[in-house]
Structure 1
């Protein structure tokens, strides 16, 4: 089981987060390096999944009024299929709810659509291209009682 921590762009762990994202997005998925880091990284809340002090998973949350947008989820290749992605997404949903968000939106790679559906996300709209990879927008409403 991993430990999930919330960090900001100024946190020393960000270098490891960026290194993991570079490995997954630039090296594995061949996304152009200049598209991987953007202005949202400066204002996002970043989640890092740690195992023995090593960053093995990450995602970021960018808030837009009462919406939380999740993006840049990356899991170390050797840590995939171990539930790290689910842990990150559950932590992100709890954080978004706690921050007052009513819903979460995300652009899912089409190959990961089923993963997000199992977590309660609903597909919206047509497929679109993002950095050469087919994506679909997905949304999850956060319940308030």
Structure 2
């Protein structure tokens, strides 16, 4: 599927209950199951339900053969990248996703990012970076408001984010601000992984939960 100057990316945050979650799973299955060989039954886990997911869509205008002067004008707009918002919304295709597991869900004192996947034809466009940035912005806002704290379990999130990075992608994560932990490499679904961290500076707002 081509991605060019006429294509507009659109990132949509979605909880597990949103129909858009199916689009996130479609991307994950394409990348992790079909491309990397992860068993499909292992791709969806118990953390999906309590997590926040983002899906990036490619809005690809549909160009049809001209049949009248009006349709010629419409097709010209599609080629020029000036298709109306309503037309674009009808042609969005999910091409990438990421997942954020909050501390109250994982029962860990850190945010866990993962399931970052972008379809192969779209991997040179910076969509992975955009997804990470969106997830981190959300984490900063939620954390600053105290919504990632769990007083009943003694969890107060201090801004640490953790990822299970595929070893082959370690350099990419490092370029996006993550640093290696001191744990050894491990195998996950037959793929070598390393742990990496990134710290978010939180500004605790008045009224946030204190532990």
TM-score, normalised to structure 2's length?
0.66
Alignment of 1:1-145 (within 5 A): 1-52=8-59, 53-65=92-104, 67-100=110-143, 101=157, 102-124=159-181, 125-144=183-202
- How big is the shift at 1:51? 1.3
Which entry has the higher C-alpha Rg, 1 or 2? 2
- Which structure 1 residue ranges, 4+ long, deviate > 2 Å from structure 2? none
Matches of 2:132 and 2:15, distance apart in 1:
17
Which ranges of structure 2 fall in alignment gaps of 5 or more residues? 1-7, 60-91, 144-156, 204-211
Matches of 1:96 and 1:131, distance apart in 2:
27
- How big is the shift at 1:144? 3.2
Matches of 2:40 and 2:24, distance apart in 1:
15
Matches of 2:113 and 2:176, distance apart in 1:
13
* Secondary structure class of the residue paired with 1:99: helix
TM-score, normalised to structure 1's length?
0.95
Superposed CA deviations along residues 30-77 of structure 1, whole A, max 9, x for unmatched, are: 011111000111111001111112111001000115521101111011
- Aligned alpha-carbon RMSD (Å): 1.2
